[in-house]
C-alpha cells in the first residue's frame, strides 16, 4: 500500500481498535520492572518505546518518515507521518484514545483486531510508561484534516485533548522530558540513538529515519556532519538528490521554527535495499567471498520471513536475528530453523555435486565467515522475558526452516560459482576445526601428564574464592616483578606477559594455541577455550589488564581486548574485564607529592600547587609500570582504596564487532580512514 493511499484506510483504525488490559499505577513505584532499570539503558528505552510506535506505522504501510530530535531543554521529540493516534473516545475508559494509550498500561491498537497486523511494540511497556516516567509529555496528533494537542505531567493529563488547528498532513509527534527523580542520568547518548535508528532503517526498507541534535555542544558525544544522509550505495544520482531534498518534514517538537543550521549534529538513514544493504554494511571491513548476496522474502501462514546472507573470509560468524524489528540477541526458534536449513542445504548440494566426499559439514563449519540478517514478522510473537531477547514461537522454526531450505538450495543451483566458493570455505573450516581440536586435546593431555595445571609464570593468590580473587595481566617481566612484590597476595594474582601477543582477529584456534602467552592466559582464567568453554569455572572475578601508558602499552591492551572479545564475549558482557589506570605523572615539591592520571588533572593540580607557593615543582612522567617501585605501584594502581579501574562494557555488540574487524583485520583502507577521522581526538600520544 502506498503512503498516498493511507488516508483511505484510516477509518479501519479508530477508537474501537483500542483495547485496555490494565492500569498504570505501579510504574513510577517500580520503574525497573518496566524498562529494566533507571540507568542509561532504561533512559534510552524510553526513546525506543516511542520510536517503535512510529516503526509499527511504517511496517503497516502508513509511514515513510520518522524524525527524532534531541531538544536543547533535554527533552526528546519523535515525529512521524503515519495515520496519527486516534482521538475519539474509548468506551472502556471514557477518555480519548490518545489519553488512553498515554495513561493506561497495555492500551493500544496492537491487542485487538484491525489496528496492526504485526508490531514490535506489542510486548513492550508502551508509551504510557514513557508518560509515567517523564516530567511532562506533549502529544500532537494530525488526522482527519485537524490538529490536536494534549499535555501530561508525570503520567496525568493536564487537561482534556483539544483541537488546535487544521492540518493537511497526518501523523503524531510525542515530546517528553525524562524525570530526574527517576533516572540517575538524563543525558541521551547521541551515538546510541544513531546506532539504533540505523538498524531500524535497514530493517524497515524505504523509510527515512532522521536524527537531529539541538543540545549544547558540551552534551554531544559525536561530531556529526551537518545534514548527512546515509543511504544505499547503488541508488542513482537522481534518487539520491530526491532523498536529500525530502530529508525533513519540517516538524520536530518544541522548536519548529529553528532552521536546519541550528542542528549541527544531524543524520538521516534511508535504505531501499533493506537487510541486503545491512549485510553489506556489516561486511564493509571484510573480504567478500560471495559476490552475489542471497536474499529471500516470503510469507507462510501469516509469518513473513526475510533473510539476507553473504560469506566472507572471516573466521567468525556474524548472524543477527529480529522479530518484528526487535533484536533477539539470544536467538530463538527462528534462528534454530535457519541454522538447520543452512546446514542441510549446503551438505545436500555438496553431496549432489561431489564437492565433499569424505565427511559431512557441521553447523559450525557452514557458519564460519557467514554474515546473515534474519528478520521475521508475525502477528503474535512470544518472547522469553521482558527484554525480548529470545523468540519462543514453536511454529516459526518449521516455517523458517522450510523457506530457507528451499530458497537457499535454489540459490546454490542458480549460482554454481558462488556455491563452489561457499563449499570450499566450509571445507577449509572443517579441516581447521579438526586441527584445532587435535591441538587443544594435545595441550590438555600434556598438562595432565606433566601435572602442570597452572602456568609457571603465574603468581597465584592464596584465596580460592573466585568472587574475592582478581588477576592482573601485566606487560613485561619488569612490571610483573614490581606487581608481584607490591600486591596483596591474599586475593591478587599476577600474570606477566612477554611482548605483544598474537593478533587473533585473523587466527583460528589451532594457531592461537601455538602461542605460549595465549596458552598461559587461557589456563590461568580456567574456563577453557572454543566449544568447551565453561564460565562457571572462572578462577577470578576481576580480570585486570595493566599495561604501560604509552603507544606500545595501548597496542598490547588492544590485542588482549581483541582476544577476549572474540573468544570470551560473556566475560565482557558480565563485567569481569577491567583496565587499570596507572598514573601519568607525579608532582613533587619538598615532602609534598601528588599522583595524577591525565594531562588535564596535571594542569589543574600544578596550578593549585603554584597558587600555594612559588617553589619549583618537579614533574615526572611515567611511561612504564617498571619505572615505579612495588610500593608506588601498589598505592597508585593496585590498592582497592586508591586505584582507578575502568570496567570494559559493550553497549552495542554489532558496532564493537565492526570496530575490532576494522582496526585488527587485514583491510587497510577502512583502518586508514578511521585513523584519519579520529586523529585529532587522541590524547597522550607519544611521538
In a 3-state reduction of DSSP, which class is residue 590? coil
Instruction: Please say if the pLDDT value at position 288 is more than 80.
Output: yes
> Across the strands, what pairs with 151?
138
Q: Provide the sign of the torsion angle of the four alpha carbons 581, 585, 589, 590, taken in this order.
A: positive
The pTM for the full model equals: 0.73
**Domain 3-273 identical in fold to domain 276-432:** no
Please indicate whether residue 616 or residue 453 has the higher confidence score (pLDDT).
616
Of these ranges, 155-159, 269-273, 488-492, 646-650, the one predicted with the greatest mean pLDDT is 488-492
CA 304 to chain centre: 25
Per-domain boundaries in the chain:
3-273, 276-432, 454-582+646-654, 584-621
Q: Is 232 left (phi over 0), alpha (psi -120 to 50) or beta?
A: beta
Please indicate whether residue 565 or residue 253 has the higher confidence score (pLDDT).
565
Of 49-58, 67-76, 396-405, 523-532, where does mean pLDDT reach its minimum?
523-532
Q: How far apart are CA 583 and CA 585, in angstroms?
A: 6
Of these ranges, 236-245, 348-357, 506-515, the one predicted with the greatest mean pLDDT is 348-357
In a 3-state reduction of DSSP, which class is residue 640? coil
Cell numbers standing for residue 127: 508509551
Instruction: Please say if the pLDDT value at position 9 is more than 80.
Output: no
Instruction: Please say if the pLDDT value at position 327 is more than 60.
Output: yes
Q: Is 462 left (phi over 0), alpha (psi -120 to 50) or beta?
A: alpha
Q: What is the pLDDT of residues 19-29, one digit of tens each?
A: 654 556 678 88
pLDDT, residue 385, reads 64
- Topology of domain 454-582+646-654 in CATH is Rossmann fold (3.40.50)
Instruction: Please say if the pLDDT value at position 668 is more than 50.
Output: yes
Q: What is the pLDDT of residues 205-262, one digit of tens each?
A: 889 999 999 887 544 444 445 567 787 777 777 777 777 776 654 444 444 444 334 4
- Is 592 in contact with 609 (CB distance < 8 Å)? yes
* Grid cell 595493566 in the structure block, residue: 546
Of these ranges, 84-93, 446-455, 606-615, 663-672, the one predicted with the greatest mean pLDDT is 84-93
Which of 41, 218, 187, 18 shows the shortest CA–CA distance to 116?
A: 18
Instruction: Please say if the pLDDT value at position 121 is more than 50.
Output: no
Instruction: Categorize the per-residue pLDDT at 112 as very low, low, confident or very high, splitting at 50, 70 and 90.
Output: very low
Cell numbers standing for residue 365: 563449519
- Topology of domain 276-432 in CATH is Ribosomal Protein S5; domain 2 (3.30.230)
pLDDT, residue 20, reads 55
Q: 3-class secondary structure for 411-452?
A: HHHHCHHHHHHHHHHHHHHHHHHHHHHHHHHHHHHHHHHHCC
pLDDT, residue 355, reads 85
pLDDT, residue 445, reads 58
Question: What's the CA angle centered on 311, arms 310 and 312, to 5 degrees?
Answer: 130
- Is 247 in contact with 285 (CB distance < 8 Å)? no
- Is 591 in contact with 615 (CB distance < 8 Å)? no
- Is 587 in contact with 606 (CB distance < 8 Å)? yes
Instruction: Please say if the pLDDT value at position 515 is more than 50.
Output: yes
- pLDDT exceeding 70 applies to what percent of the chain? 84
- pLDDT exceeding 90 applies to what percent of the chain? 44
User: For the packed helices 653-664 and 551-567, what is the interaxial angle rounded to 10 degrees?
Assistant: 130
pLDDT, residue 579, reads 93
Q: Provide the sign of the torsion angle of the four alpha carbons 538, 541, 547, 549, taken in this order.
A: positive
Q: Does domain 3-273 have CATH number 3.40.50.300?
A: no
Mean pLDDT score, 259-268: 60
In a 3-state reduction of DSSP, which class is residue 308? strand
Mean pLDDT score, 578-595: 89
Dump the DSSP string for 300-369.
ETTEEEEEEEEEBS-SS-EEEEEETTEE-TT-BHHHHHHHHHHHHHHHHHHHHTTS--S-PPPHHHHHTT
Mean pLDDT score, 12-20: 67
Mean pLDDT score, 125-130: 83
Mean pLDDT score, 175-179: 96
Q: Are strands 76-80 and 171-178 parallel, antiparallel or unpaired?
A: antiparallel
Which of 587, 580, 618, 592 shows the shortest CA–CA distance to 604?
A: 587
In a 3-state reduction of DSSP, which class is residue 565? helix
In a 3-state reduction of DSSP, which class is residue 476? coil
Please indicate whether residue 332 or residue 515 has the higher confidence score (pLDDT).
332
Instruction: Please say if the pLDDT value at position 451 is more than 50.
Output: no
Cell numbers standing for residue 428: 577449509
Residues with catalytic annotation? 475, 548, 550, 552
Amino acid at each position: 500500500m502506498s503512503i498516498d493511499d493511507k488516508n483511505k484506510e484510516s477509518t479501519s483504525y479508530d477508537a474501537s481498535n483500542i483495547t485496555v488490559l490494565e492500569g498504570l499505577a505501579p510504574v513510577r513505584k517500580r520503574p525497573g520492572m518496566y524498562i529494566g532499570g533507571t540507568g542509561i539503558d532504561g533512559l534510552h528505552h524510553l526513546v525506543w518505546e516511542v520510536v517503535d510506535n512510529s516503526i509499527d506505522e511504517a511496517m503497516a504501510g502508513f509511514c515513510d518518515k520518522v524524525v527524532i530530535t534531541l531538544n536543547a531543554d533535554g527533552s526528546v521529540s519523535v515525529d512521524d507521518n503515519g495515520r496519527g493516534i486516534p482521538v475519539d473516545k474509548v468506551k472502556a475508559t471514557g477518555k480519548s484514545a490518545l489519553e488512553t494509550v498515554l495513561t493506561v498500561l497495555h492500551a493500544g491498537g496492537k491487542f485487538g483486531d484491525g489496528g496492526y497486523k504485526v508490531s514490535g511494540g506489542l510486548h513492550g511497556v508502551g508509551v504510557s510508561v514513557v508518560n509515567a516516567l517523564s516530567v511532562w509529555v506533549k502529544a500532537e496528533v494530525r488526522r482527519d484534516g485537524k490538529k490536536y494537542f494534549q499535555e501530561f505531567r508525570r503520567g496525568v493529563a493536564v487537561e482534556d485533548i483539544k483541537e488546535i488547528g487544521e492540518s493537511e498532513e497526518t501523523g503524531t509527534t510525542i515530546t517528553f522530558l525524562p524525570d530526574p527523580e527517576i533516572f540517575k542520568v538524563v543525558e541521551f547518548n547521541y551515538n546510541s540513538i544513531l546506532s539504533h535508528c540505523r538498524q531500524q532503517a535497514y530493517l524497515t526498507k524505504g523509510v527515512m529515519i532522521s536524527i537531529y541534535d539541538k543540545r549544547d555542544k558540551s552534551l554531544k558525544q559525536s561530531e556529526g556532519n551537518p545534514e548527512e544522509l546515509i543511504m544505499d550505495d547503488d541508488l542513482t544520482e537522481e534518487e539520491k538528490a530526491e532523498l536529500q531534498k525530502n530529508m525533513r518534514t519540517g516538524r520536530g517538537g518544541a522548536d519548529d521554527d529553528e532552521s536546519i543550521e541550528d542542528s549541527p549534529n544531524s543524520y538521516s538513514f534511508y535504505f531501499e535495499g533493506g537487510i541486503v544493504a545491512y549485510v553489506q554494511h556489516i561486511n564493509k571491513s571484510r573480504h567478500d567471498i560471495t559476490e552475489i548476496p542471497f536474499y529471500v522474502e516470503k510469507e507462510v501462514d501469516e509469518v513473513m520471513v526475510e533473510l539476507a546472507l553473504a560469506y566472507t573470509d572471516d573466521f567468525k560468524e556474524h548472524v543477527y536475528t529480529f522479530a518484528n524489528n526487535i533484536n533477539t540477541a539470544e536467538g530463538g526458534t527462528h534462528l534454530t530453523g535457519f541454522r538447520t536449513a543452512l546446514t542441510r542445504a549446503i551438505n545436500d548440494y555438496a553431496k549432489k555435486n561431489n564437492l565433499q566426499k569424505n565427511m559431512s559439514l557441521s553447523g559450525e563449519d557452514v557458519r564460519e565467515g557467514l554474515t546473515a540478517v534474519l528478520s521475521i514478522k508475525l502477528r503474535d510473537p512470544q518472547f522469553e522475558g521482558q527484554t525480548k531477547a529470545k523468540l519462543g514461537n514453536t511454529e516459526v522454526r518449521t516455517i523458517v526452516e522450510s523457506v530457507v531450505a528451499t530458497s537457499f538450495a535454489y540459490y546454490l543451483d542458480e549460482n554454481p560459482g558462488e556455491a563452489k566458493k561457499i563449499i570450499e570455505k566450509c571445507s577449509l573450516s572443517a579441516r581447521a576445526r579438526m586441527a584445532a581440536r587435535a591441538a587443544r586435546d594435545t595441550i590438555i593431555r600434556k598438562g595432565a601428564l606433566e601435572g602442570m595445571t597452572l602456568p609457571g609464570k603465574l603468581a597465584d593468590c592464596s584465596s580460592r574464592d573466585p568472587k574475592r580473587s582478581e588477576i592482573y595481566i601485566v606487560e613485561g617481566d619488569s612490571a610483573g616483578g614490581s606487581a608481584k612484590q607490591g600486591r596483596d597476595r591474599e586475593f591478587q594474582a599476577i600474570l606477566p606477559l612477554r611482548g605483544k601477543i598474537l593478533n587473533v582477529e585473523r587466527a583460528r584456534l589451532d594457531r592461537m594455541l601455538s602461542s605460549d602467552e595465549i596458552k598461559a592466559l587461557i589456563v590461568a582464567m580456567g574456563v577453557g577455550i572454543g566449544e568447551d568453554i565453561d564460565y562457571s569455572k572462572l578462577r577470578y572475578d576481576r580480570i585486570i589488564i595493566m599495561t604501560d601508558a604509552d603507544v606500545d602499552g595501548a597496542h598490547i591492551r588492544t590485542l588482549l581486548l581483541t582476544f577476549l572479545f572474540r573468544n570470551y564475549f560473556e566475560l565482557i558482557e558480565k563485567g569481569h574485564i577491567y583496565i587499570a589506570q596507572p598514573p601519568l605523572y607525579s608532582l613533587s615539591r619538598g615532602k609534598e607529592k601528588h599522583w595524577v592520571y591525565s594531562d588535564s588533572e596535571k594542569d589543574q593540580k600544578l596550578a593549585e600547587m603554584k597558587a600555594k607557593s612559588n617553589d619549583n615543582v618537579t614533574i615526572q612522567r611515567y611511561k612504564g609500570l617498571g619505572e615505579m617501585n612495588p610500593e608506588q605501584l601498589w598505592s597508585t594502581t593496585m590498592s582497592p582504596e586508591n586505584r582507578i579501574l575502568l570496567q570494559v562494557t559493550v553497549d552495542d555488540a554489532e558496532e564493537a564487532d565492526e570496530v575490532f574487524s576494522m582496526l585488527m583485520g587485514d583491510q587497510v583502507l577502512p583502518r586508514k580512514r578511521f585513523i584519519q577521522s579520529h586523529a585529532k581526538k587522541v590524547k597522550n600520544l607519544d611521538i
